[in-house]
Amino acid sequence: MKSFDARCWHTLTALVVALCPVWACATENGNTNRPPGVDTVMTGFMPPPGWRITTFVANYTADENRDGNGDLPRNISNFYFSAKAVTMRFQYVWPDVEWLGANVETRFGHALYTDLEFRADIQTPGGVIRRRGADSGTLPAGFVAPILLGWHGKTLHQTVGPIYSYPTRRFEKTKVSNITTGFSSLSAFYGVTWLPDDKWELSSGMFYVLNRTNPETNYRSGRELSIDVGAGYFVNPAWQIGASGYLYKQVSDDSVNGVAVAGGNRGQVMALGPFIRYRPSKTFGVTLKWQPEFNAENRPIGNRLYLQFLHVL
């Protein structure tokens, strides 16, 4: 889960709501290769040399959606959307390798499993149309970051680099829900972590996402800006509590066959909620995050839950 970086999730969990012909839903069918809210803890801190594996278990549910003005569409009722996903991210920091004064990391991952469910009733002049859809499967998407650079200061740590996300399944345009986005993306990533003392941590992961055209539909989702944030307090060396969330905003219009869609279909949403982290040793850690959403436009509005397991080899 595009640390899921990238939808690995990324995909990955992909918010898939296939009603764009009826209501605006930011990017094609609401899909993104970069699920928000993943990189909120120690985001800019590149770890010591060796392997790290993080498993992400994600659950997103929404029973409301918003139009381009942030209002409930009058013609939509009984709306429900859920997305569940399990993703693994592998990180390898190369020993004895430096470039431009930075340590070097390679990162890659896959969504192991994704499950989607969608339903809505749409009021039309001819009556109510009931849309229902579900999809599930393994390995719908992946991502790779060949080179990430990490700098360490006394209190400030930074990581930068490109992340490429790609689908591994064919997008089926006749289906209401698809576990794959059907298009690839290239993200510019910047992570920063500030540790002013031994009690506090402030972290942020910023992604600028360029999407390619879906070859099955000739639809191109607009560019996306996704900013994850987290503020944590160390109760003791093993336990950390705090708040995490994200700001997601589409900064350019969607297009079909090279022509911008009506209204641009740009989406945005914010989220903020509590998290708790337990890391009893240097080789294992677990983080639980709840991120309720608000201030949404052209998107569903719901609750995102992440359970993350870290294992250092």
Rounded distance, CA 124 to CA 259, Å? 26
Q: To the nearest whole percent, how much of the chain has pLDDT over 70?
A: 92
Which pLDDT band holds residue 10 (cuts at 50, 70, 90)?
A: very low
pLDDT tens string 197-229 = 999 999 999 999 999 999 999 999 999 999 999
Look up the CATH superfamily of 28-312.
monomeric porin ompg (2.40.160.40)
Q: What is the predicted pLDDT for the residue at 5?
A: 42
Q: Closest by alpha carbon to 82, among 305, 255, 232, 308?
A: 305
pLDDT tens string 56-108 = 999 999 999 999 999 999 999 999 999 999 999 999 999 999 999 999 999 99
Check if the beta carbon of residue 13 is closer than 8 Å to that of residue 7: yes
Q: What is the predicted pLDDT for the residue at 28?
A: 77
Which pLDDT band holds residue 25 (cuts at 50, 70, 90)?
A: low
Determine the distance from the C-alpha atom of residue 169 to the mean position of all C-alpha atoms in its chain, rounded to a whole number.
19
Rounded distance, CA 253 to CA 239, Å? 43
pTM confidence score: 0.90
> Of the spans 3-7, 42-46, 178-182, which averages the highest pLDDT?
42-46
Check if the beta carbon of residue 177 is closer than 8 Å to that of residue 116: yes
Q: Closest by alpha carbon to 33, among 168, 154, 159?
A: 168
Maximum Cα interatomic distance, the chain, rounded to a whole number of Å:
68
Classify burial at 189, counting beta carbons within 10 Å of its beta carbon; exposed 0-12, middle 13-18, buried 19 or more: buried
Residue 194 has pLDDT above 80, yes or no: yes
Q: What is the predicted pLDDT for the residue at 23?
A: 39
- Residues written for the chain: 313
